[in-house]
Amino acid sequence: MAKLLYSSRVPKITKRHIAVGTAVCFLTAYGVKKYCPNIQRLLGLKKKGKSIDFLDEDEDDQKSLETKKTSHNVDKKFFRELKELIKIIIPRIWSKEFGILALHTSTLFARTFLSIYVATLDGKIVKTIVQRDVKEFLLKLGLWLLIAVPATFINSLIRFLESQLALALRTRLVKHSYDLYFKNQVYYRVSNLDGRLANADQCLTDDITMFTSSLAHLYSHLSKPILDVALITFTLYRFASSRGASSRYPIIIATISVFITGQVLKAASPKFGKLVAEEAKRKGYLRYIHSRVIANAEEIAFYGGHRVEHSLLRRAYAQVAKQMDLIFRKRLWYIMLEQFLMKYGWSASGLLMVAIPIITAEQGGRRPDGTLVDQDADGGVSERTRAFTTSRNLLINSADATERIMSSFKEITELAGYTSRVSQMLEVFKDIKEGKYERAMVSKVRAESMQKQKQKMTSSLSIKGEVKDVNGYIAIESLPIITPNGDVIVSSLTLKIEPEMHLLITGPNGCGKSSLFRILSGLWPAYNGKLHKPSPSQMFYIPQRPYMSIGTLRDQVIYPDSIEDMHKKGLKDQDLYKILATVNLQQIIEREGGFDATSDWKDMLSGGEKQRMGMARIFYHRPQFALLDECTSAVSIDVESKIYQAVKNAGICLLTITHRPSLWKFHTHLLQFDGEGGWRMEALDTTARLSLNEEKQRLESQLAGLPEMHRRLKELCSILGEDSVLMDKDQALEECA
């Protein structure tokens, strides 16, 4: 006894004790510094008026999060958005998605009942060990192994159904999103007329995938734990009551433990929703930079701009890495606190919960048949051991389930981030489909004379124009040409194009020529005035760089039709051969291996061949109006003239933007923009215009030599040391002016 008292007064302190104590003190101090403000705020000890920001992020990151318009918190808006998305991904009860969900729920029920049965069987096995009953032990052990077969299958089935559920939800949401994305040219307008979605491709791929995976995983990790807690709690209560033990104190201990853990974790939890949403945003920007390099690789190589692009990529990746590192650091201390409370705090509470009923049970507990446990031959040791083992296993399962419920809050906040991004994407798509745009506009004033006309649109542009599909003509009345930035290029345009009219459109760069084509094609809205035009199927636009799709050579000619559409029109490959012969492309059929040949046509065809392929599409579709935007600039003049004459012979009305005088003769009227907001339309006198153009070129060639002659005269005067009469006259005129 004296030795015991002495050892308690003089503890043996070693270097190991000092090192462990130092580490514990350091971690405790850091934890107090990290979480004390939040705990004080939770307990009401912090003074009002002082806000506590747990994130403690760098200034740039905090600014980025504060300036975001979209909320990523678990609030009413989150549940409202989630409800709307669930209506999309599970549209009705009799659907594939609901069937998978029901089957998944059934397997979760089965797994819970198996867990309770296995826990009870473990207690019986321990009892046979304590009683040293070999025969009964082997029977119970064999039964335990038999139960393991369906249990492992159900475990694997749960993971399989979770993956299937995520895939089914993703498929439904992707289909819905794609339907919106390709309606009313949303895919074009989302990036050109609206500025709310920086990277639509990121939202359509990664964000949808993460949302559906997170939702399916969260359902599995919430529904089963809730079911486990309910059924296991009922089983433990019935187990304790059947033996006369009190369950009041264990319930109080469990309630207090869960409440304290929940409040502390809620106060200390970082805003994972905002963090994850910001990470997704930065990943989308990194992907955008990569796509720019791929799309413009040739231009970058010509300029030698690899260092600039390399720098942009490194900065974009650094931002992603910085955000990921921030999330990892937040998770480090949060998971440490979470594990301490749930693993060790709850384990201690569980031991108390198991010990109290066994210790307080009268005479070791009373069985349902009325016999007392203490009256057993072994004094009730084996029965108490069985009860302890069964209760402990059930409590462990219940604690694990409760831990998953508590830790799911972190996953819910992350789901809130994905839900917000996907909901925002669908909302933007719907707004654009209905003609509602939001964009940060920056006005550009070309000259002082344009300041009154080219005004800044300070608020959201309202679309008040009247657009009507008609047949056979184009009528424009008081139509303004306005860029997506809100700059007014032409304040009011009025004209009418009737059959047999072929319009040549000219003017300086940026005067509104291509912008007019975008309005006629429906890419840009008519903000005012009236626009009567044929339906989109009767107007075909050919740009300077025609788009080459993925597919066969046949697909290039009939784009955007499919081969089924071609057959419905009654056309065959022989007709396509005639079309290609019209544009002098018949030789590529044999060269490339026939109409069924596939290749990367964007790189396989030359610039002139791609432009002629674009013109071939006009002869295939045969629209009423052809909008041609410098579409033959890389084609020889003789072939170009042949194609234009064939288009006119086909009865197709030409609207052409070109700088080649050789094409003027194919047009009957002229629309000329002056670059200052003015315009004029008149009948085209090709002979007079060609004569004026020749005179212009002659004067340009004559005046081109004047600066060189003037410079040489100065050099001769300097060498001779004499003045020039001509230069003196010029100087005198300048002084008078």
| Average pLDDT, rounded, for the chain | 76
Buried b (16+ CB within 10 A) or exposed e, 221-250: bbbbbbbbbebbbebbeebbeebbbebeeb
Torsion of CA 136, 142, 146, 151, to 10 degrees: 80
Q: What is the mean pLDDT of residues 228-233?
A: 67
Q: What is the mean pLDDT of residues 242-247?
A: 58
Residue 106: count of CB within 10 angstroms of its CB: 13
DSSP H helix total and E strand total for the chain: 26, 10
pLDDT at 447: 42
Nearest to 207 by CA among 174, 162, 182, 181: 174
For residues 432 and 187, give the distance between their C-alpha atoms in angstroms, rounded to a whole number. 10
- At 60 the pLDDT is 42
Averaged pLDDT for residues 644-650: 93
* pLDDT band of 499, cuts 50, 70, 90: confident
Q: Is the pLDDT of residue 446 over 50?
A: no
Assigned token pair, 515? 């912008």
Helix or strand run (H / E) with residue 491? strand 488-497
Of 641, 646, 642, 681, the closest CA to residue 658 belongs to 641
Residue pLDDT, tens place only, 670-697: 999 988 888 999 998 877 777 777 777 7
Whether the pLDDT of residue 5 is over 50: the answer is no
Q: Which residues pair with 505 in a beta bridge?
A: 657, 671
The percentage of the chain sitting over the pLDDT mark of 70, rounded to a whole number, equals 69
Element spanning 531, H or E: strand 530-533
How far apart (Å, rounded) are the C-alpha atoms in residues 283 and 281?
5
User: What's the rounded Cα separation, in Å, for the pair 306 and 310?
Assistant: 6
Position 449 scores a pLDDT of 43
Give the DSSP H or E segment for 479: strand 474-482
525 preceded by cis ω (within 30°)? no
Q: Which pLDDT does position 3 carry in this prediction?
A: 36
Tens digits of per-residue pLDDT, 408-423? 777 788 888 888 889 9
Mean pLDDT of 557-567: 91
Q: State pLDDT tens for residues 137-159.
A: 888 888 888 888 888 888 889 88
How does pLDDT run across 597-617, given as a tens digit for each residue?
998 898 889 989 999 999 999
Closest CA to 656 of 508, 520, 517: 517
Question: What are phi and psi for residue 541, nearest 5 degrees?
Answer: -105, 130
Of 229, 332, 330, whose CA–CA distance to 276 is shortest? 330
Q: Is the pLDDT of residue 512 over 50?
A: yes
Query: What pLDDT, on a 0 to 100 scale, did the predictor assign at position 71?
Result: 54
- The more confidently predicted of residues 105 and 368 is 105
Where does residue 199 fall: left (phi above 0), alpha (psi -120 to 50 degrees), or beta otherwise? beta
- Asked if 657 and 517 count as a contact pair (C-beta separation under 8 A), the reply is yes
pLDDT digits (tens, 9 = 90+) for 265-303: 777 777 777 787 788 888 888 888 888 887 777 677 766
Q: What is the DSSP pairing of strand 679-683 with strand 530-533?
A: unpaired
